Structure 1
Amino acid sequence: MWFSLPALLAGLALPGVHAAALSRSDIQTVFSGAQWSSAGTIVSFPGSDSFTNATERWSVFHQPTYAASVSPATEADVAKAVTLATSHRIPFLATGGRHGYTTTLGELHNGLAIDLGQLNTVNIDKSTGVMTIGGAVRFSDIYNPVFEAGYEIQTGTCSCPGMVGVTLGGGVGPWAGVHGLDIDALLSLRVVTANGTVIDVSDNSNPDLFWAMRGAGANFGVVTSATYQLQPLVNDGQIWVAEAILTPDLFSNYFKLVETYDGGNLKPEMAIIQAGVYDDAAGFVIAVTWSYLGPEDKANEFFKPLLDLNPIVLGIQNYQWNNVIQSVSGGSDAQRCIDGAINSIYTIDAKNFSAATYETAYAELGAFYEAHPEARGSTIQISIFPNQAALAVPDDRTAYPWRETKAYIDLIFTWTGTNQSLEKTTDALGRQWRSTFAATSGYPGLAAYVNSAHGDESLESRYGANKLPRLAALKKTWDPNNVFRFNNKLPTKYP
C-alpha cells in the first residue's frame, strides 16, 4: 500500500484511493485515531456489543457490511464522521431505526456505519404545536409526548422505524386523509451535506434542497434533527378499530366489498388494512383491521358492511391515538419490530382497487404457503389509506411523486432455515405479483413508494418521471460524487 498511516490519521484527502484500497484495519485506524468533540461519541468495531447495537438491522436480507461504526453524541461529530469518510473515500451509511430494507443497501461493503442512536431527543412547544426531534427518534418515542401535549401527527403502522427516515421518503400512514403525509408536516431540517457542512433546510433556507428532501431525502444528506407542525387531536384522540379474521369462503365477497370504496366512497377518517396470514390452527386466512378516526356512531356505520359478512370478529374497541399502533392485533407490533429476520419486500402503489386482482393474488399466496411451510410468515398486505389531505398539497410542493395513491401493497417474503432456492423462488413470485397488481393499479406503469422499494424498480417507478430532471440537477449540486448512494440512489443527470 502506497499511502501512509500518518496521512490517514490526519484526515487528509487521498486522491485516487478507493474503498477497495483500504483494509479493514486501515479504516478502523481512521476513526479510532480521530479527535471527537464529545467524550460520548462511541467508535466500535465488529465483535463488540457496541458495534452490534450500532449496526443490527430489522432485516438481514441484502444488508450492508461495515468495518467500523461511529455513534456520534453531537451534530458536530456527525459532520466529522462524514468528512473523514468522504476524505478517505470510505463508503458510509447513516441510520436511525435501521428499518430500511431496500436491497440497494447491500451494495455497501466494508464501510462505515454512522449510528444516529444518541440523537434521540423529543422537544415540543405546547403553545405552538411545533415538535423538534433528533435524527434517530422512532415513532414509539413520540406517541406519549405528542398526545400529552394535546396533539397528534401522521404516523406509519409500526412503532419502531425512525420517524425522520420514514419522513424523507414521504411518510404515508392510515390518516393521510385527515393529516396528509409526514413531509406535509415537516417545517425544517438540520442536514449534514456531502462536504461535511451543517446547514438549515426549510422553505426559507435552501428551499430547493428542502423540496428534494421531501420524497428523496436519503440521497442528499444526514439529518441530525427535524421540526414538524403537529395537529390538534381529532375526536379527542379517540380511534375506533374493528378487527376480524376471514376464512377462504369469505375472500371473494370481502374483496368485492373493498372494491366498493374505490372512487369517492373512501372517507378521510377511514383506513383499511388486510393481510394474508397462515395460522397453524386455522390455516390460510386474512386478518383485517378497519379503523375510524371519529365518533362511535360514524365508526359503526363504517364497520357494518364488514360485520355483515359474518367474519370471525376479534373485537371492536376504542383506542387513544398514542397507543393504537402498539395495541391493535393483540399487540403484534412488538413481534413485527424484532430485528434480525429475512425480509424481502416488493411494493406497489395503486389509485384503484381491484377485487379480481386481490382474489387471484391471495389464492396464489395460499398455494405458496402449502408449497413452502418454512415461509409461512410471508404475507401480502394491502393498506388502504384515504388521500384527501395528501392531495390538498400541490404536487410541485415536494419531490414525493405519488400523492394520488390510496392503496399501498406490500409483498413481504420471510423464511427460516437455509433453503437457498427460496430467494430465487420469492424473487420470481415477487416480480410476478408486482406486475399483476401494477396492471390494475390505475397508474400507467409501476408506481412504488420509495421507503418500501425492493431496489430493482426503474428510477421512474420510485421517483416519478416528472420529478427526476429536477432531482438529478439537485443531486449534481449537493452530492456530485454520490456519497449518499446506497438507498435507492439518484443519478446526477436525467435523462
Structure 2
Amino acid sequence: MEVIAAVAAGAIASACQNAVLSSWLVSICPQRDYVKELGDRLSRHAHIYTPGSDDFKTATTRWSVAHAPEVKLVVVPSIENDVAETVKYANELGMPYLALNGGHGAIKTVEKMKGGIEIWMHQLNGVEISEDGARAKIGGGAKTKTVIDALWAAGKQTVTGLCECTSILGPGLGGGHGILEGHYGLISDQFVSMNIVLADGILRTIDESSEMWWAMQGAGHNFGIVTSVTLKTYDIIYRDWAYESFIFTGDKVESLYDNINNHLLKDGSQPVEIMHYSFFFNNPEVDPTNPLIMFFILQEGNMVVDPTYTTPFHELGPISTDGEGGSFLDLATWTGNDNNSPPCQKAGLVNYRFPINIESYSVPAQRQVYDLFASATKETPALNGSFFLFEGYATQGVKAIPSESTAYPFRSDNLLIAPVINYAGGDAEIDKKAVELGENLRRILHEATGREEMHTYVNYAYGEETKQNMYGYEQWRQDKLLELKNKYDPQRKFSFYAPIA
C-alpha cells in the first residue's frame, strides 16, 4: 500500500507541476506561484500583474468590452526575450496566451482564450532609425504617434494608420491601411525583417528569404508574436498638408457619394495626394431627427485644398465647412483620431465593426444604408452613439504590388467601409439588435456590388466572417495558409485573432 500511495503521490505532484490545474486537481494541489516562477525567468524591468490590481485592470482594458479574453496573468516584457520566456513557460503549463498592443482589436474570436496569459507589449516601443535613414526598427508595441513623431524628427516617414493610439504591428500584420499607401503600399509592404517568437517559444529573425514571410504580410496574427520589425522609411517629400471638411444633412446622400465617385475616386484612379474620409453620425443638437454626414478631403503638398477637388462639394450646400493647413502631424487631430479623441478612449463601451471592401459607391445603396442607420438608431436610442465609416485612400502603391506576393488578398478594392456599432453593454436584446444592424448594413453594400465574394478587412472584423472573407477566395491562398499553419503552429497556439484554422 505504501508503494501504491507513493506512486499516486508522485503522479499527483507531477500533474500539479506540469499542467494547468483542472477542477479536481485544484483541491489537492498547492497553489502555484506563477509570479515567482515566471518572474525568475524575465528581465529586471519586466512586470507581472495579477487580477485585482490597478495595473492588471489597466493592462486588460480594451477599446471594446464585448467578447474579452479571460486573463489570468499579464506579463509586460521589457526586452524581446521576455516574450520568448513567457511563451515557453506558458507552453510548459499548457496555458494559452495572447499578445496585446493597443487593445483595439475588437474581433469576438479573442474571447476563446480562457484562463491565459496576456502579453502586453507596450514597453517594447522603441524606434531606431538606421544610419542611412532607409530603415527603422520599431518595437512590437510601438504606437502610431510614437513612430510618426520619431521619424518626422529625422525627416522621415513610413506608412502608418491614421489613428494615433493604435499600434503599428496590430494593423500591419493584417495588411494595414494608411494615409501614405498611395505612394508606398500597405504597412505590411514596408516590412524588411522581423523578430518573432514562434509557437515553440524560440525567438527568430525572419525576412523575405523565409517561407513564412508571405503569411506575415496579411495573416501574421496566426503565426507568432512579433517583438520588433524593421520597416522601410522614406524622405519627407511634402511637409505641407491641408484639409477641408463639410457637414451635410441626409438629403445630400446621393449627390455627395455621386460626387465622390466622379470627382475623387475616378474608377480607382484617385490622385495620389488625396484622401477622402466620411462618416454618418448622430448629433441631435444640430438635427434631432436624422444623422448627419461628416466629409473630409485631405491633400498632401498644399496649405489649402485645391478648389478643383472641393468646389463640387461646396456646390452641394453643406450646413458647415472648415479647413486648415499644417503638416502630416496634424492629420489625426483634424480628423478626430488623435490620442485625446473619442476613438482613442477606452470608455467601457461595446464597439462592433462589420467591414466590407468595395470598388466604388453604389449611390442607391448609400441611400439604403443611410436610411437604415437612421431608423435603427432612432428606434433603439442605445445605439445612437454609433457611426458609419467610409475611408477612401489613394491606392496606387497598394495595387503596384502583385497580389500573389503577400497574404493580403484584396488589393484591387478602393474603399474601406465599416459601420461601428457603439453602445453600453449589458442588455442581451440590445446586443442582438446591434449585430443585426451591423450585418444588415454590410449586406446591403455587398449586394450592391453584384459580387458573390464579400471582401472584409481582417483588422476590422467582427468575428463571424469566413476565412475566405478575410484571407481571399483563391483556393491556393487557403491551401498555402493552412500548410504554413500546420508546419509552424500545429498545436494552434496562435488561433485567437481571426484564425485561419
Correspondence for 2:454: 446
Unaligned runs of 5+ in 1: none
Match of 1:477 among 484, 487, 491: 487
Q: 1:70 to 1:8 in 2, by over 3 A?
A: farther
Q: Give % identity.
A: 26
3-state SS in 2 of match to 1:440: helix
- Which of 182, 199, 221 is the aligned partner of 2:224? 221
Greater shift, 386-395 or 123-132, is seen at 123-132
- Distance in 1 between the 2:308 and 2:111 partners? 47
Instruction: Return 226-235 or 310-319, whichever deviates more.
Output: 310-319
Aligned to 2:4: none
Which of residues 384, 388, 395 in structure 2 aligns to 1:380? 388
In 2, are the aligned partners of 1:325 and 1:333 still within 8 Å (CA)? no
CA–CA distance in structure 1, aligned partners of residues 305 and 344 of structure 2: 32
Equivalent runs, 1:234-313 vs 2, <5 Å: 234-235=237-238, 237-260=239-262, 261-283=265-287, 284-296=291-303, 299-313=306-320
1:149-191 deviation line (CA, Å, top 9, x unaligned):
1122222221111111110000112332222100111111100
Q: 1:23 to 1:154 in 2, by over 3 A?
A: farther
Counterparts of 1:188 and 1:486, CA distance in 2: 24
How far has the Cα of 1:76 moved from its partner?
A: 1.6
Cα 1:400–1:265, aligned 2, differ >3 Å: closer, same or farther? closer
CA apart distance, 1:53: 2.4
CA distance in 1, matches of 2:222, 2:426: 34
Q: Deviations over 1:429-484 (max 9, x none)?
A: 22222111112336431111111111101110111132211111000010000000
Instruction: Tell me, in whole angstroms, the C-alpha distance in 2 between the residues paired with 1:43 and 1:27.
Output: 17
Residues 429, 31 of structure 1: alpha-carbon distance in 2 compared, 3 angstrom cutoff: same
Letter in 2 for 1:432: N
Whole-angstrom distance in 1 between the partners of 2:113 and 2:445: 31
**Distance of 1:68 and 1:349 partners within structure 2:** 37
1:244 touches 1:288 (CA, 8 Å); kept in 2?
yes
Which residue, 319, 324, 331 being the options, matches 2:326? 319
**CA deviation map 1:232-265 (0-9, x unaligned):** 2132x22211111101222221122123234145
1:210 equivalent in alignment to 2:218:
no
Give the stretch that moved more between structures: 246-255 or 291-300: 291-300
Distance 1:26 1:136 in 2: 35
Q: Does 2:56 align with 1:48?
A: no
Say if 1:27 and 1:67, in contact at 8 Å, map to a contact too. no
Question: 1:349–1:441: 8 Å Cα contact kept in structure 2?
Answer: no
Superposition deviation, residue 21 in structure 1: 7.6
Q: Residue 424 of structure 1 is aligned with which of 428, 432, 435?
A: 432
Q: Structure 2 length normalisation: TM-score?
A: 0.91
User: Following the alignment from structure 2 to structure 1, what is the Cα–Cα distance between the partners of residues 59 and 492?
Assistant: 24
Which residue identity lines up with residue 386 of structure 1 in the other structure?
Answer: A
8 Å CA contact 2:84–2:197 kept in 1: the answer is yes
1:292, 1:149 → 2: CA distance?
Answer: 22
- C-alpha deviation, 1:104, in angstroms: 0.5
Shift of 1:361: 0.2
Indicate the SS of the match to 2:486: helix
Cα deviation code 1:123-153 (max 9, x no counterpart): 1126333111111101011121111111222
Q: State the shift of 1:383 in Å.
A: 0.8
CA contact (8 A) 1:168 1:183 kept: yes
Q: Is the 8 A contact 2:184 2:398 kept in 1?
A: yes
Match of 2:3 in 1: none
Residue 434 of structure 2 aligns to which amino acid in structure 1? T
Gapped regions of structure 2 (runs ≥ 5) = 1-7
- Computing the radius of gyration from Cα coordinates, the structure with the larger value is 2
Aligned-partner residue type, residue 208 of structure 1 = E
Q: How many residues align?
A: 483
Whether the 8 Å CA contact 1:270–1:292 is kept in 2: the answer is: yes
Q: How much does 1:417 deviate?
A: 6.0
